[in-house]
Amino acid sequence: MGSMGFFKLFRSESHTPDLAADTRSGERPTRHSSGLAEFTKLLTGKESLNILDLGPTSPQNISVLTGLGHRVFNEDVLLASLDPAYIAQEEDGTKRIKVAEFLAENLNHEPQKFDAVLCWDIPDYLHESLVKVLVERLAAVMKPGGVVLAYFHTKDAGADAPYYRYHIAGKDLLSLQRGPQFRLQRVFNNRHIENLFKDFSNIKFFLARDNVREVLVVR
Amino acid sequence: MEAPRPADNFRSDVAHIGKSVLVKGELSGSEDLYLDGEVEGSIDLQEHNLTIGPHGRVRANVKARDVIVHGKVDGNIHGTERVELKRSAVLVGDISTQRIVIEDGAFFKGAIDIKKEAKPAAKTEAPKAYAAAASYSDQGSLTPQS
Protein backbone atom coordinates (compact mmCIF):
# COMPACT_ATOMS: atom_id res chain seq x y z
CA MET A 1 0.00 0.00 0.00
CA GLY A 2 1.58 3.22 -1.08
CA SER A 3 0.66 6.68 0.01
CA MET A 4 -1.77 7.05 2.86
CA GLY A 5 -3.17 10.17 1.16
CA PHE A 6 -6.43 8.51 0.25
CA PHE A 7 -7.41 8.29 3.86
CA LYS A 8 -9.52 11.04 5.27
CA LEU A 9 -7.31 12.59 7.92
CA PHE A 10 -8.32 14.58 10.92
CA ARG A 11 -5.30 16.75 11.55
CA SER A 12 -5.79 17.92 15.03
CA GLU A 13 -4.06 17.57 18.36
CA SER A 14 -5.41 15.61 21.24
CA HIS A 15 -6.81 17.60 24.12
CA THR A 16 -7.35 16.97 27.79
CA PRO A 17 -10.12 14.46 28.25
CA ASP A 18 -13.30 15.07 30.14
CA LEU A 19 -13.69 11.75 31.81
CA ALA A 20 -16.15 13.11 34.34
CA ALA A 21 -18.93 12.73 31.83
CA ASP A 22 -18.31 9.03 31.62
CA THR A 23 -17.81 8.45 35.30
CA ARG A 24 -20.69 10.51 36.66
CA SER A 25 -23.21 7.80 35.96
CA GLY A 26 -20.84 5.09 37.20
CA GLU A 27 -22.03 2.80 34.45
CA ARG A 28 -20.42 1.98 31.19
CA PRO A 29 -22.50 1.87 28.04
CA THR A 30 -22.60 -1.46 26.28
CA ARG A 31 -22.45 -2.30 22.63
CA HIS A 32 -23.46 -5.42 20.80
CA SER A 33 -20.73 -6.68 18.49
CA SER A 34 -21.34 -9.26 15.80
CA GLY A 35 -17.64 -9.31 15.10
CA LEU A 36 -16.91 -10.17 18.71
CA ALA A 37 -19.52 -12.92 18.59
CA GLU A 38 -17.77 -14.48 15.62
CA PHE A 39 -14.35 -13.99 17.24
CA THR A 40 -15.34 -15.64 20.52
CA LYS A 41 -17.06 -18.48 18.67
CA LEU A 42 -13.70 -19.27 17.10
CA LEU A 43 -12.03 -19.31 20.52
CA THR A 44 -14.57 -21.37 22.39
CA GLY A 45 -13.92 -25.07 22.55
CA LYS A 46 -10.21 -24.63 22.04
CA GLU A 47 -7.65 -24.27 24.76
CA SER A 48 -4.27 -22.69 25.16
CA LEU A 49 -4.57 -20.34 22.25
CA ASN A 50 -2.23 -17.36 22.20
CA ILE A 51 -4.30 -14.19 22.06
CA LEU A 52 -2.84 -10.73 21.64
CA ASP A 53 -4.79 -7.76 22.96
CA LEU A 54 -3.48 -4.52 21.52
CA GLY A 55 -5.64 -2.29 23.69
CA PRO A 56 -5.07 -0.89 27.18
CA THR A 57 -4.80 -3.37 30.03
CA SER A 58 -8.32 -4.63 30.63
CA PRO A 59 -8.94 -6.78 33.70
CA GLN A 60 -12.18 -7.93 32.11
CA ASN A 61 -10.60 -9.04 28.87
CA ILE A 62 -7.83 -10.84 30.69
CA SER A 63 -10.34 -12.55 32.92
CA VAL A 64 -12.56 -13.68 30.07
CA LEU A 65 -9.80 -14.91 27.84
CA THR A 66 -7.84 -16.71 30.56
CA GLY A 67 -11.13 -18.11 31.82
CA LEU A 68 -11.56 -19.70 28.43
CA GLY A 69 -8.22 -21.37 28.91
CA HIS A 70 -6.12 -19.15 26.71
CA ARG A 71 -2.86 -17.35 27.11
CA VAL A 72 -3.21 -13.59 26.87
CA PHE A 73 -0.61 -11.12 25.71
CA ASN A 74 -1.26 -7.48 26.43
CA GLU A 75 0.42 -4.65 24.50
CA ASP A 76 -1.08 -1.18 24.50
CA VAL A 77 0.42 -0.07 21.19
CA LEU A 78 -1.42 3.23 21.07
CA LEU A 79 -0.03 4.28 24.42
CA ALA A 80 3.40 2.98 23.46
CA SER A 81 3.38 5.08 20.29
CA LEU A 82 3.18 8.21 22.43
CA ASP A 83 6.43 7.43 24.23
CA PRO A 84 8.73 10.42 23.64
CA ALA A 85 11.57 7.96 23.05
CA TYR A 86 9.99 7.10 19.70
CA ILE A 87 9.33 10.66 18.59
CA ALA A 88 11.92 12.66 16.67
CA GLN A 89 11.74 16.35 15.96
CA GLU A 90 12.48 17.32 12.38
CA GLU A 91 14.24 20.52 11.39
CA ASP A 92 10.99 22.10 10.25
CA GLY A 93 9.44 21.44 13.62
CA THR A 94 7.31 18.51 12.60
CA LYS A 95 7.45 15.30 14.55
CA ARG A 96 8.02 11.87 13.16
CA ILE A 97 7.88 8.45 14.69
CA LYS A 98 11.06 6.37 14.89
CA VAL A 99 9.40 3.34 13.36
CA ALA A 100 12.38 1.00 13.55
CA GLU A 101 12.92 1.74 17.22
CA PHE A 102 9.23 1.33 17.92
CA LEU A 103 9.12 -2.08 16.24
CA ALA A 104 12.29 -3.18 17.99
CA GLU A 105 10.62 -2.75 21.36
CA ASN A 106 6.97 -3.38 20.58
CA LEU A 107 5.13 -6.25 18.98
CA ASN A 108 8.44 -8.03 19.06
CA HIS A 109 7.39 -11.67 19.01
CA GLU A 110 8.51 -14.81 17.26
CA PRO A 111 6.90 -15.57 13.91
CA GLN A 112 3.53 -17.30 13.82
CA LYS A 113 2.97 -17.04 17.53
CA PHE A 114 -0.59 -15.81 17.83
CA ASP A 115 -3.90 -17.51 17.13
CA ALA A 116 -5.96 -14.37 17.53
CA VAL A 117 -5.55 -10.63 17.84
CA LEU A 118 -7.85 -8.01 19.33
CA CYS A 119 -6.93 -4.96 17.30
CA TRP A 120 -9.97 -2.91 18.37
CA ASP A 121 -10.00 0.49 16.60
CA ILE A 122 -6.34 1.20 17.02
CA PRO A 123 -5.61 1.84 13.32
CA ASP A 124 -8.09 4.73 13.46
CA TYR A 125 -6.04 6.48 16.14
CA LEU A 126 -2.48 5.39 15.48
CA HIS A 127 0.12 7.67 13.92
CA GLU A 128 0.04 7.40 10.15
CA SER A 129 3.55 5.97 9.88
CA LEU A 130 2.69 3.07 12.17
CA VAL A 131 -0.58 1.84 10.68
CA LYS A 132 0.78 -0.16 7.80
CA VAL A 133 3.75 -1.52 9.74
CA LEU A 134 1.45 -2.58 12.56
CA VAL A 135 -0.58 -4.75 10.21
CA GLU A 136 2.55 -6.11 8.53
CA ARG A 137 3.92 -7.05 11.93
CA LEU A 138 0.64 -8.75 12.84
CA ALA A 139 0.83 -10.77 9.65
CA ALA A 140 4.30 -11.91 10.63
CA VAL A 141 3.50 -12.91 14.20
CA MET A 142 0.19 -14.63 13.50
CA LYS A 143 -0.34 -18.25 12.68
CA PRO A 144 -1.95 -19.13 9.37
CA GLY A 145 -5.65 -19.26 10.03
CA GLY A 146 -5.35 -16.86 12.94
CA VAL A 147 -7.99 -14.16 13.24
CA VAL A 148 -7.92 -10.44 13.84
CA LEU A 149 -10.89 -8.50 15.15
CA ALA A 150 -10.73 -4.85 14.20
CA TYR A 151 -13.08 -1.90 14.31
CA PHE A 152 -13.07 1.08 11.98
CA HIS A 153 -15.03 4.26 12.39
CA THR A 154 -17.15 5.30 9.44
CA LYS A 155 -17.07 8.82 8.04
CA ASP A 156 -20.23 9.62 9.95
CA ALA A 157 -18.35 9.20 13.22
CA GLY A 158 -16.76 12.63 12.81
CA ALA A 159 -13.46 13.95 14.07
CA ASP A 160 -14.76 14.27 17.62
CA ALA A 161 -15.75 10.62 17.95
CA PRO A 162 -14.85 9.72 21.54
CA TYR A 163 -12.17 7.15 22.17
CA TYR A 164 -13.36 4.15 24.12
CA ARG A 165 -11.61 1.30 25.81
CA TYR A 166 -13.32 -1.93 24.93
CA HIS A 167 -14.05 -4.51 27.60
CA ILE A 168 -15.51 -7.89 26.78
CA ALA A 169 -18.77 -8.20 28.74
CA GLY A 170 -20.25 -11.20 26.98
CA LYS A 171 -19.71 -13.39 23.98
CA ASP A 172 -21.19 -10.66 21.77
CA LEU A 173 -21.18 -7.71 24.12
CA LEU A 174 -18.71 -4.97 24.89
CA SER A 175 -18.74 -2.44 27.67
CA LEU A 176 -17.28 0.90 26.67
CA GLN A 177 -15.12 2.97 28.96
CA ARG A 178 -14.17 6.50 27.99
CA GLY A 179 -10.42 6.64 27.64
CA PRO A 180 -7.88 9.39 27.04
CA GLN A 181 -9.07 11.81 24.38
CA PHE A 182 -7.17 10.35 21.49
CA ARG A 183 -8.10 12.10 18.28
CA LEU A 184 -9.56 10.09 15.42
CA GLN A 185 -6.80 10.29 12.82
CA ARG A 186 -8.45 8.87 9.74
CA VAL A 187 -11.43 7.08 8.32
CA PHE A 188 -11.02 3.93 6.28
CA ASN A 189 -13.46 2.81 3.65
CA ASN A 190 -13.88 -0.85 2.74
CA ARG A 191 -11.32 -0.64 -0.04
CA HIS A 192 -8.77 0.89 2.32
CA ILE A 193 -9.36 -1.88 4.81
CA GLU A 194 -8.94 -4.56 2.17
CA ASN A 195 -5.68 -2.96 1.06
CA LEU A 196 -4.48 -2.69 4.62
CA PHE A 197 -4.97 -6.41 5.17
CA LYS A 198 -3.78 -7.48 1.74
CA ASP A 199 -1.42 -10.07 3.26
CA PHE A 200 -4.34 -11.82 4.92
CA SER A 201 -6.40 -14.53 3.27
CA ASN A 202 -9.95 -13.60 4.10
CA ILE A 203 -11.86 -10.60 5.37
CA LYS A 204 -15.39 -10.38 6.63
CA PHE A 205 -17.32 -7.19 7.30
CA PHE A 206 -20.07 -6.87 9.86
CA LEU A 207 -22.65 -4.18 9.65
CA ALA A 208 -23.37 -2.23 12.81
CA ARG A 209 -25.99 0.37 13.62
CA ASP A 210 -23.53 2.84 15.03
CA ASN A 211 -20.65 4.55 13.27
CA VAL A 212 -18.23 1.66 13.66
CA ARG A 213 -17.50 -0.95 11.02
CA GLU A 214 -16.42 -4.35 12.33
CA VAL A 215 -14.00 -6.57 10.52
CA LEU A 216 -12.81 -10.12 11.11
CA VAL A 217 -9.67 -10.93 9.16
CA VAL A 218 -8.08 -14.33 8.69
CA ARG A 219 -4.34 -14.68 8.34
CA MET B 1 19.82 -0.68 56.51
CA GLU B 2 17.65 1.38 58.77
CA ALA B 3 15.20 -0.37 61.06
CA PRO B 4 11.72 -0.50 59.57
CA ARG B 5 9.27 1.99 60.98
CA PRO B 6 5.82 0.96 62.11
CA ALA B 7 3.24 1.14 59.34
CA ASP B 8 -0.32 0.02 58.91
CA ASN B 9 0.83 -3.00 56.94
CA PHE B 10 3.88 -3.77 59.06
CA ARG B 11 3.94 -7.02 60.94
CA SER B 12 6.84 -8.42 62.87
CA ASP B 13 6.67 -11.61 60.81
CA VAL B 14 7.12 -9.73 57.52
CA ALA B 15 10.55 -8.67 56.37
CA HIS B 16 10.68 -5.09 55.14
CA ILE B 17 12.92 -3.38 52.61
CA GLY B 18 12.50 0.36 52.78
CA LYS B 19 12.34 2.74 49.86
CA SER B 20 15.86 3.99 50.28
CA VAL B 21 17.38 0.52 49.97
CA LEU B 22 18.93 -0.83 46.79
CA VAL B 23 19.69 -4.54 46.48
CA LYS B 24 21.67 -5.99 43.61
CA GLY B 25 21.84 -9.74 43.31
CA GLU B 26 19.84 -12.78 44.29
CA LEU B 27 17.29 -12.07 46.97
CA SER B 28 15.83 -15.12 48.68
CA GLY B 29 14.10 -15.82 51.94
CA SER B 30 11.79 -18.02 53.93
CA GLU B 31 9.39 -15.39 55.18
CA ASP B 32 6.99 -12.86 53.71
CA LEU B 33 8.56 -9.71 52.33
CA TYR B 34 7.33 -6.16 51.89
CA LEU B 35 9.61 -4.50 49.37
CA ASP B 36 9.45 -0.76 48.88
CA GLY B 37 12.97 -0.25 47.63
CA GLU B 38 14.89 -1.19 44.55
CA VAL B 39 16.00 -4.69 43.55
CA GLU B 40 18.05 -5.80 40.58
CA GLY B 41 18.66 -9.49 40.05
CA SER B 42 16.21 -12.13 41.17
CA ILE B 43 13.74 -12.66 43.99
CA ASP B 44 12.78 -16.11 45.24
CA LEU B 45 10.64 -16.45 48.33
CA GLN B 46 9.59 -20.03 47.73
CA GLU B 47 6.18 -20.47 49.41
CA HIS B 48 6.06 -17.03 50.99
CA ASN B 49 4.39 -13.84 49.91
CA LEU B 50 5.87 -10.77 48.31
CA THR B 51 4.35 -7.32 48.32
CA ILE B 52 5.99 -4.68 46.17
CA GLY B 53 5.09 -1.33 47.63
CA PRO B 54 4.27 1.83 45.70
CA HIS B 55 7.91 2.95 45.76
CA GLY B 56 9.17 -0.47 44.84
CA ARG B 57 11.29 -0.74 41.68
CA VAL B 58 12.13 -4.29 40.69
CA ARG B 59 14.27 -5.29 37.75
CA ALA B 60 14.24 -8.98 38.39
CA ASN B 61 12.37 -12.21 37.88
CA VAL B 62 10.18 -12.88 40.86
CA LYS B 63 9.00 -16.11 42.38
CA ALA B 64 6.76 -16.28 45.44
CA ARG B 65 3.49 -17.73 46.63
CA ASP B 66 1.34 -14.59 46.41
CA VAL B 67 2.74 -11.55 44.67
CA ILE B 68 1.05 -8.18 45.14
CA VAL B 69 2.36 -5.29 43.08
CA HIS B 70 1.82 -1.62 43.81
CA GLY B 71 5.03 -0.37 42.22
CA LYS B 72 7.08 -1.14 39.11
CA VAL B 73 8.39 -4.46 37.93
CA ASP B 74 10.51 -5.19 34.90
CA GLY B 75 10.74 -8.94 34.89
CA ASN B 76 8.68 -12.10 34.97
CA ILE B 77 6.48 -12.95 37.91
CA HIS B 78 5.74 -16.48 38.97
CA GLY B 79 3.17 -16.57 41.72
CA THR B 80 2.51 -20.15 42.68
CA GLU B 81 -0.90 -19.16 44.05
CA ARG B 82 -1.85 -15.63 43.05
CA VAL B 83 -0.63 -12.46 41.42
CA GLU B 84 -2.35 -9.15 42.07
CA LEU B 85 -1.65 -5.91 40.22
CA LYS B 86 -2.92 -2.88 42.06
CA ARG B 87 -4.04 0.24 40.20
CA SER B 88 -0.63 1.88 40.57
CA ALA B 89 1.24 -1.16 39.31
CA VAL B 90 3.41 -1.08 36.22
CA LEU B 91 4.57 -4.49 35.03
CA VAL B 92 6.57 -5.29 31.95
CA GLY B 93 7.09 -9.01 31.87
CA ASP B 94 5.20 -12.27 31.90
CA ILE B 95 2.94 -13.59 34.63
CA SER B 96 2.53 -17.23 35.50
CA THR B 97 0.11 -18.08 38.27
CA GLN B 98 -3.08 -19.86 39.26
CA ARG B 99 -5.11 -16.73 39.89
CA ILE B 100 -4.74 -13.21 38.59
CA VAL B 101 -6.31 -10.05 39.95
CA ILE B 102 -5.80 -6.78 38.12
CA GLU B 103 -7.21 -3.46 39.26
CA ASP B 104 -8.37 -1.00 36.66
CA GLY B 105 -5.58 1.47 36.10
CA ALA B 106 -2.75 -1.03 36.32
CA PHE B 107 -0.40 -1.10 33.36
CA PHE B 108 0.70 -4.47 32.10
CA LYS B 109 2.71 -5.46 29.08
CA GLY B 110 3.45 -9.14 28.64
CA ALA B 111 1.86 -12.54 28.71
CA ILE B 112 -0.43 -14.09 31.28
CA ASP B 113 -0.36 -17.83 31.72
CA ILE B 114 -2.91 -19.26 34.13
CA LYS B 115 -1.94 -22.71 35.25
CA LYS B 116 -4.21 -24.33 37.76
CA GLU B 117 -2.76 -26.97 39.97
CA ALA B 118 -4.06 -30.44 39.05
CA LYS B 119 -7.45 -30.87 40.66
CA PRO B 120 -10.33 -33.17 39.75
CA ALA B 121 -12.86 -31.95 37.14
CA ALA B 122 -13.83 -28.23 37.17
CA LYS B 123 -13.26 -27.45 33.47
CA THR B 124 -13.96 -23.80 32.85
CA GLU B 125 -17.08 -23.13 30.81
CA ALA B 126 -17.48 -20.15 28.54
CA PRO B 127 -20.67 -18.85 30.22
CA LYS B 128 -18.88 -18.72 33.60
CA ALA B 129 -16.00 -16.76 32.14
CA TYR B 130 -18.39 -14.14 30.72
CA ALA B 131 -20.51 -14.07 33.88
CA ALA B 132 -17.44 -13.26 35.91
CA ALA B 133 -16.55 -10.50 33.47
CA ALA B 134 -20.04 -9.02 33.67
CA SER B 135 -19.53 -8.28 37.36
CA TYR B 136 -16.56 -6.07 36.55
CA SER B 137 -18.33 -3.61 34.33
CA ASP B 138 -20.06 -2.03 37.29
CA GLN B 139 -17.16 -2.20 39.66
CA GLY B 140 -14.25 -1.43 37.38
CA SER B 141 -12.02 -3.91 39.15
CA LEU B 142 -11.57 -7.60 39.50
CA THR B 143 -12.57 -9.84 42.28
CA PRO B 144 -10.34 -12.81 42.79
CA GLN B 145 -11.13 -15.72 40.59
CA SER B 146 -11.90 -19.04 42.20
- Residue A76 sits in a domain whose CATH number is 3.40.50.150
DSSP B31: S
Task: State pLDDT tens for residues A11-56.
Answer: 443 333 333 344 445 678 999 999 999 999 998 889 899 999 999 9
User: Taking the domains of chain B in order of start, what are their residue ranges?
Assistant: 14-118
In a domain, A101, yes or no: yes
Q: Is residue A122 part of a domain?
A: yes
Q: For residue A36, give its domain range.
A: 24-218
Structural domain tally of chain A? 1
pLDDT range class, residue A182, cuts 50, 70, 90? confident
Task: Evaluate if residue A9 carries a pLDDT over 70.
Answer: no
Q: Do A76 and B107 touch (CB under 8 A)?
A: yes
Residue A115 domain-assigned (yes or no): yes
Q: Quick check: is A17 in a domain?
A: no
Q: What pLDDT score does A101 carry?
A: 94
Average pLDDT over residues B51-64: 97
pLDDT band at A141 (very low <50, low <70, confident <90, very high): very high
Spatial contact of A61 and A53, defined as CB atoms under 8 Å apart: yes
Q: Mean of the pLDDT values across residues A113-134?
A: 95
Could you give the C-alpha distances from A81 to A114, A129, A169, A182, A195, in angstroms and in order? 21, 10, 27, 12, 23
Whether residue A143 lies inside any domain: the answer is: yes
Choose among A26, A57, A64: nearest Cβ to B133: A64
Q: Which of residues B16 and B123 earns the better pLDDT score?
A: B16
Q: Is A34 on the interface with B (CB under 8 A)?
A: no
Please answer yes or no on whether A40 and B126 come within 8 Å at the CB atom. Answer: yes
The model's confidence at residue A209, banded by pLDDT at 50, 70 and 90, is confident
Flag whether pLDDT at A5 surpasses 50: no
Q: Which residues of A touch B107 (CB under 8 A)?
A: 57, 76
B45 contacts B33 by C-beta, under 8 angstroms:
yes
**A7 found inside a domain:** no
Structure confidence by residue, pLDDT tens digits, B96-145: 999 999 999 999 999 999 987 765 555 555 556 676 665 554 444 443 34
| Cβ-based burial of B139 (10 A; exposed 0-12, middle 13-18, buried ≥19) | exposed
Mean pLDDT of chain A: 86
Residues of A in contact with B111 (CB under 8 A): 71-74
Q: Would A103 be classed as within a structural domain? A: yes
